[in-house]
Amino acid sequence: MAQSLVIDGSQLKRLMKLVRSISSKKAMTVLQLQKRLNASRRTIFRDLNAVEKMGISVDLGAKGYTVKASAAACKKLLTEHQVKVLNKFLGACLK
């Protein structure tokens, strides 16, 4: 039986920001991700695990975390406009 992943709005926003952060060409360390996402070390590891459960392959290299090249195509699933609309919607829902 497949496990389902339950994500609330604030976690979804953080996961989207996490994936965008590690999808850039520059790798990011856990400390850099903590600062960027304003989250604890444990939350970063939990979020990295959730991202992998969603099918986005994450690689840990000598300089930090990045999205594996084969998973880079996932970025194209949402356009920049769709991401902005989704962020606006989630922001309104969380107020």
**What digits encode the pLDDT tens for the residues 13-66?**
888 889 888 887 788 999 999 999 999 999 999 999 988 888 888 889 889 998
* pTM given for the model: 0.68
- Give residue 64's pLDDT: 93
Phi, psi dihedrals of residue 15, rounded to the nearest 5°: -65, -40
CB 22 within 8 A of CB 36: no
**Looking at the domain that runs over 9-93, which CATH code has it been given?**
1.10.10.10
